[in-house]
């Protein structure tokens, strides 16, 4: 199994450019199933999750053609099955996004149970309720979800939580429904907006893009389009946290700054204050970072929530930054109950962290981190361990790195370009 070996402690300097957002790439690629025309995607992150989606689609009859590193053409002229590969679907959570487009296109799906990170319960009730509201019927049958629909009927859906992939599934189904669907309490992450933009470019009629109330006027047909995937704000946030604690000066180009207001506000509480120059962020890691107390003098709490709140996927990297910030902070992960356990690995490296319960940690910094041997439990925790190893004293080994490479394209090359002494062992 592959691993990264990192000699930590070198100051990091230079410029990075984020790849496309994984969580936008996964739903927009699925949208190819809604038309026989070709959809062309630019800035596609060539990461394992994306390659798995391509393989699932290809096995279902979709033509998959790469042009260079990051441009992808998908043509779903012939879809020859309603039963995608069980092995591939169980590799990724995003296989659940086949439900909406396959019900729209074929009126049926036999979806093997989706896999993905073990970071919490990951309920699918919101998908289920929404699809049934649109006229579908779903049932579990031998480790599969079997879905059927005659023709989706537009309706009013009040989602029980703003689930990202449930919103995407309902968009992918409702876009070709008969009549108008209104999704209340919808997710509004930039990747959901990206999907709305693609569907509109394909001839869809979606209003309210970027808000939590989406009005979808169903259309009869969709056509080909070209779509550029937005920058990965998880990668931008990670590089920002790393740059702030790595003793040099890092510039992040093409950062999608307009989407980062809440992220920047939250990281400011840890003392991270990048300079904004156009669409770039510049962070000076030669200066110490200091936790900003609340006006009452209390310890600040960093908490995650659905967009526009601070993203759960950026909690782990902020936790590493907090180990180097002067002062005490509390992290409250509200969404997933399994995302804080990786902090035991940071404690093993010397970080002053108290795990209070599955959702909360208290961190006091700054403290020296010492290189260690670790294994990456999930994609976001893995990135955090990589950051910790990059600033730690001495050598670290990180095993199970497919859990990092699933989400971050060429991460070892990008870090090496900044000055991280990193090698990859097969
Ligand atoms: N949740 C709440 N309150 C809410 C909304 C959600 O507690 O108001 C809980 C849910 O109950 C669930 C969790 O938060 O346990 C996540 O909910 P959601 O259904 O939105 O997650 P998802 O659609 O399964 C996507 C991303 C995840 C990301 C979450 C949250 C994709 C393919 N996956 O998952 O990405 O963490 O949204 O933003 O888009 C990752 O990339 O590392 C990853 C896990």
Q: CA 426: distance to chain centroid? A: 26
Average pLDDT of the residues in 201-228: 98
Each residue's pLDDT tens digit, 149-173: 999 999 999 999 999 999 999 999 9
Domain enclosing residue 277, as ranges? 3-19+231-425
Q: Which residue has the higher pLDDT, 114 or 187?
A: 187
Mark whether 261 and 396 lie in a shared domain.
Answer: yes
Residue 200 has pLDDT above 70, yes or no: yes
- Is 268 found in the same domain as 147? no
d(CA 315, CA 364): 16
Last residue of a domain, one of 197, 228, 259: 228
Residues with CB under 6 A from ligand 1: 22-23, 26, 93-94, 117, 120-123, 161-166, 187, 306, 311-313, 334-336, 379-380, 407
Can you tell me the mean pLDDT for 198-226? 98
Q: Same domain for 221 and 167?
A: yes
Number of compact structural domains in the chain: 2
Give yes or no: residues 103 and 208 share one domain.
yes
Q: What is the mean pLDDT of residues 93-121?
A: 88
For residue 115, the model assigns a pLDDT of: 79
The helix/strand/coil state of 247 is coil
Q: Ligand 1 center to residue 395 CA distance, Å?
A: 34
Please tell me the distance from the alpha carbon of residue 363 to that of residue 329, in angstroms, as a whole number: 5
pLDDT at residue 407, as a whole number:
92
Which residues have a catalytic role annotated? Answer: 117
Flag whether pLDDT at 121 surpasses 90. Answer: no
pLDDT the model gives residue 426: 85
How far apart are the CA of 151 and the centre of ligand 1, in A? 28
Q: Report pLDDT for 119.
A: 60
Residue 118: pLDDT above 90?
no
Q: For residues 136-152, give the mean pLDDT.
A: 95
What pLDDT, on the 0 to 100 scale, is given for residue 123? 84
Report the distance separating Cα 256 and Cα 114, nearest Å.
30
**221 shares its domain with 235:** no
Could you tell me if 198 and 265 lie in one domain?
Answer: no
pTM for this structure? 0.96
Verify that 11 and 28 share a domain, yes or no. Answer: no
Of 189, 209, 228, which closes a domain?
A: 228
Residues 243 and 256 in one domain: yes
> Distance from the CA of 350 to the center of ligand 1, in angstroms?
30
Same domain for 199 and 51, yes or no, is: yes
Residue 252 is predicted with a pLDDT of 98
Among the atoms of ligand 1, which is closest to the Cα of residue 126? 19
Looking at the structure, tell me whether residues 277 and 211 fall in a common domain. no
Residues 404 and 383 in one domain: yes
Q: Which of 201, 228, 255 is the last residue of a domain?
A: 228
Q: Are both 60 and 193 inside the same structural domain? A: yes
Neighbours of 161 (CB within 10 A): 12
Q: Please determine, for residue 28, whether its predicted confidence score (pLDDT) is greater than 80.
A: yes
Is the pLDDT assigned to residue 120 strictly greater than 70? no
- Condensed to tens digits (0 to 9), the pLDDT of residues 346-365 reads 999 999 999 999 999 999 99
Q: Identify the H or E element spanning 53.
A: helix 48-59
pLDDT value at 260 more than 80: yes
Out of 157-161, 267-271, 399-403, least confident range: 399-403
Q: Whose CA is nearest to atom 15 of ligand 1?
A: 122
CATH code where residue 310 lies: 3.65.10.10
Question: Mean pLDDT for the chain?
Answer: 96
Strand ranges in 239-378 using DSSP code E only, listed in sequence order = 249-252, 275-277, 280-284, 301-303, 327-332, 352-357, 360-365, 373-375
Q: What is the tens place of the pLDDT at every residue in 34-87?
A: 999 999 999 999 999 999 999 999 999 999 999 999 999 999 999 999 999 999
- In this prediction, residue 282 carries a pLDDT of 98
């Amino acid at each position: 199994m592959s691993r990264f070996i990192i000699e930590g402690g070198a100051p990091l300097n230079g410029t990075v450019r984020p790849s496309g957002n994984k969580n936008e790439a996964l739903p927009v690629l699925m949208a190819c199933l809604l038309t026989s025309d070709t959809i062309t995607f630019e800035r596609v992150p060539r990461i394992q999750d994306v390659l798995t989606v391509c393989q699932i689609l290809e096995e279902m009859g979709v033509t998959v053609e790469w042009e260079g590193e990051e441009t992808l053409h998908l043509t779903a002229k012939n879809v020859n099955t309603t039963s995608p590969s069980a092995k591939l679907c169980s590799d990724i959570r995003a296989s659940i996004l086949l439900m909406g487009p396959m019900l729209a296109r074929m009126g049926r799906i036999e979806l093997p149970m989706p896999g993905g990170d073990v970071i919490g319960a990951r309920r699918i009730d919101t998908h289920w309720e929404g699809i049934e509201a649109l006229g579908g019927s779903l049932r579990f049958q031998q480790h599969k979800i079997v879905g059927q629909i005659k023709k989706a009927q537009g309706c009013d859906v009040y989602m029980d939580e703003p689930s990202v992939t449930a919103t995407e599934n309902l968009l992918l189904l409702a876009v070709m429904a008969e009549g108008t669907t209104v999704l209340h309490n919808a997710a509004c992450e930039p990747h959901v907006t990206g999907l709305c933009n693609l569907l509109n470019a394909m001839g869809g009629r979606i209003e309210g893009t970027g808000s939590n109330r989406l009005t979808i006027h169903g259309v009869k047909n969709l056509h080909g389009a070209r779509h550029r995937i937005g920058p990965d704000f998880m990668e931008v946030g990670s590089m920002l946290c790393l740059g702030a604690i790595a003793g040099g000066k890092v510039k992040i180009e093409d950062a999608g700054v307009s989407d980062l207001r809440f992220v920047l506000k939250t990281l400011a509480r840890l003392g991270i204050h990048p300079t904004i120059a156009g669409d770039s962020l510049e962070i000076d890691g030669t200066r110490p970072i200091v936790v900003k107390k609340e006006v009452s003098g209390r310890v600040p709490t960093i908490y995650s929530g659905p967009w526009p709140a601070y993203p759960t996927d950026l909690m782990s990297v902020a936790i590493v930054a907090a180990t180097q910030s002067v002062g005490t902070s509390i992290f409250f992960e509200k969404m997933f109950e399994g995302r804080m356990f990786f902090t035991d690995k940071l404690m093993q490296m010397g970080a002053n962290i108290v795990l209070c319960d599955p959702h909360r940690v208290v961190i006091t910094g700054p403290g020296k981190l010492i290189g260690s041997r670790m294994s990456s439990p999930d994609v976001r925790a893995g990135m955090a361990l990589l950051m910790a190893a990059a600033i730690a004293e001495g050598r670290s080994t990180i095993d199970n790195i497919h859990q990092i490479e699933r989400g971050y394209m060429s991460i070892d090359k990008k870090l090496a370009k900044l000055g991280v002494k990193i090698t990859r062992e097969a």
